[in-house]
Homo-oligomer: A and B are copies of this chain.
Amino acid sequence: MLVLITYDVNTETPAGKTRLRKVAKQCVNYGQGVQNSVFECFLDAGQSKMLLHKLEKIIDKETDSLRFYYLGNNYKSKVEHIGIKPSHDVNEPLIF
């Protein structure tokens, strides 16, 4: 199924920047970054749980926000895009 993952990581501190890099690194294993901090991942239920659990351990729940949207298998009619498409993975981990 398609799982849309969006996150807001507070990058005011070096530790925040590290968290952001780690979150992106996990997501990139399972899907494509379609916008900054927005990933579309193809996961089964087990993978989805596992990824959620991994990301939960990375983020700081006091300052960061993580959302999973489950779009199911018939997702093609559920997504509309306008404008540029990423020519590269926009969430490719940055080097800090």
Binding site for B on A (CB under 8 A): 4, 6-8, 34-38, 52, 55-56, 59-71, 77-86, 90
Q: Is the CB of A52 within 8 A of B82?
A: yes
Assembled-state Cα–Cα distance A85/B56 (Å) = 15
Contact A35/B65 with A4-B4, A71-B71, A71-B78 known, Cβ cut-off 8 Å = yes
Residues of B within 8 A of A71 (CB): 69, 71, 78
Supply 7 further A-B pairs (C-beta < 8 A) apart from A4-B4, A66-B82: A8-B90, A65-B84, A66-B81, A67-B82, A68-B79, A70-B77, A70-B78
**Contact A35:B52 (CB < 8 A) given known A61-B83, A67-B80:** no
8 pairs of A and B residues whose beta carbons are closest in the complex: A8-B35, A68-B80, A65-B83, A66-B82, A70-B78, A61-B83, A64-B83, A6-B38
Query: Can you give 30 A-B contacts (C-beta < 8 A)?
Result: A6-B34, A6-B35, A6-B38, A8-B35, A8-B90, A34-B65, A34-B67, A35-B67, A52-B80, A52-B82, A55-B82, A59-B82, A59-B83, A60-B83, A61-B84, A62-B84, A64-B83, A65-B82, A65-B84, A65-B86, A66-B81, A66-B82, A66-B83, A67-B81, A67-B82, A68-B79, A68-B81, A69-B78, A69-B79, A71-B78
